[in-house]
Amino acid sequence: MTDTPNSTQDATPETADVLVVGSGIAGCAAALAAAREGAEVLLLTKAEKPDGASTDWAQGGISTTRGDPESLKRDILEASDGTADPDAIDVLVEHADDAVEDVLLETLGIEFDETSEGEFDYTREAAHSNHRILHVDAATGTHILRPFLNYVDDHDRIEVRQDTAALDLITHEGRVHGVLTDEEPDGHPVFAGTTVLATGGIGALYTRSTNPDDATGDGIAMAALAGAEVEDMEYVQFHPTAYDCEAQRASRRSGDAAERDDPFLLSEALRGEGAVLRNGHGERFMDDYHPDAELAPRDIVARAVETEREETGEVVLDVSTLEGEFAEEYPAIAEKCRDRGIEGDEIPVAPCEHFLCGGIAVDENGRTSLDRLYAVGECVRTGVHGANRLASTSLLEGLVWGLRAGEDAADSGAEPEVVEAPDLRNSDPDLPERFAAEKSVRLKRTMDEYLGLERDPEEIARASAVLRRLKGEVDAYIRTRTARDLYELRNACVVTLLIARAAGENDESVGCHYVVSDGDEATAEPESPADD
């Protein structure tokens, strides 16, 4: 890699063999695999600390096959309502255990929880037929990502550059040559033989999410604007048991709750080990919705929880029915509950945006439809999840596809080519401090209201119109400004339009995409984001 130039004027262009954008488990895996193949790797990340990556927020664990790949394949396919790609699942389950053994156990030495007999303490989560999930308390993502980042950062062939945002892909004649970053006021080009997007999810598009605040769908937007294929964007998964901060706000007004009330995830492992859901009348209700009760697929549990909240006022997760003591078995979650003034065994819960099952379309090696561009992690559509993701498969998918993409990207033999980069302008005065934040609130409210757990075709069309206008407003300002928050807002607008378009084109209720009414057909098709 060349040194970072101080100026884009008459400077030696910065290059890398493999450029990775994103620092979650998928990005780290891609960087590691590429470096193992002898490539010089540059990893760029918006994050300044580990919890800026979605991996750090992952609680439950990472699934293994536990020696039975066919069983895991059946569970993944069933959770997807039969929509997952069997070939993609085969790639996942056939490489799952080797990837976990190689990277997490041998390379990083992750100390997963064990039983008193010194064996792995495999847990079970919703829609899994067996106990096969490795975990560390209920904070597995943190315990994986932090040592992974340290390992990658110490690697001789990998440079990690934090607090650096990719603004646009550099393309020429259908080939990707790198990215423009925000390291210079008018954009700093980084050229690469191959580029790997690992930019995470879209949680910042909704008011309530289990994702970091900067999960604005950057990779999906940049790839789509460059012409890459995207698929299954309507399948936005909501986790059924996130802490219900609205309920606690009501309690705080009566003087019964602590000040801290930000949402956090109540791991699915709690229900896997015996916790139950109760409505405002104290009744356990999941038996009325699915034979597997609390262990039904996520989309079913999430809609049931929301229905019961609307009909009875609240839903709580009762942890008194756990096989072990809540505070002893799940100390991290118990501490978060105490911080928020939650006493007793009943924790208020509500559905919360959690994971995008679709994204940039990739093959078994993470290759996109654009030459020299790869993508891995939550920003991609591998086909593994279909319309609904099985619990604790996201870290596994990121690890497996990250390793495969990094190796393939390094082995491609592509050399960095310096081409003409987009000419960004940064000539106008800065916008008011709250401009991007206020537009973001408008976007989130639109997504919450029209593209949440349930969708109506008329409301999807209404959302599309609102989002097109919003993107037009943002585009008018971004033409002469390169501020990171503006580009994040542009990316969010692009992704919301992709979600709205996919939702409007799919009139079948399946998995995460639940259509409540036929309604009237929209009078106009949402336009392509690239055309706005």
Alpha carbon 66 to its chain centroid, in Å, reads 25
AA identity, residue 197: L
- CB-based burial of residue 470 (10 Å sphere; 0-12 exposed, 13-18 middle, 19+ buried)? buried
Instruction: Give the SS3 label for residue 315.
Output: strand
CA separation, residue 173 to residues 20, 181, 370, 421, 462 (Å):
21, 21, 10, 13, 36
DSSP at 431: P
Residue 479 has a CB neighbour count (10 Å cut-off) of 11
Q: Is 146 a catalytic residue?
A: no
Q: In what order do the strands lie in the sheet with 315-318?
A: 236-243, 346-356, 315-318, 276-279
Options 124, 271, 298, 404, the catalytic residue: 298
Cβ neighbors of 514 (< 8 A, separation 6 or more) are 299, 303, 453, 454, 455
Q: Please list, residue by residue across 343-378, b when 16 or more beta carbons sit within 10 angstroms of its beta carbon and e when fewer do.
A: eeebbbbbbbbbbbbbbbbbbbbbbbbbebbbbbbb
Residue 115 has a CB neighbour count (10 Å cut-off) of 9
Alpha carbon 184 to its chain centroid, in Å, reads 28
Taking the C-alpha atoms of 214, 219, 221 and 223 in order, what is their torsion angle to the nearest 10 degrees?
170
* 347 beta partners: 317
DSSP at 166: E
Cβ neighbors of 336 (< 8 A, separation 6 or more) are 243, 264
Cβ neighbors of 383 (< 8 A, separation 6 or more) are 84, 85, 87, 88, 89
Dist. CA 95–CA 92, nearest whole Å: 6
Dist. CA 199–CA 356, nearest whole Å: 12
- Whether 527 and 468 have beta carbons less than 8 Å apart is answered as yes
Kindly report the CA angle at 202 between 199 and 204, in degrees rounded to 5? Answer: 115
Dist. CA 76–CA 142, nearest whole Å: 24
Torsion angles phi and psi, residue 413, rounded to 5: 75, 5
- Whether 192 and 19 have beta carbons less than 8 Å apart is answered as yes
Task: Write out the catalytic residue numbers.
Answer: 298
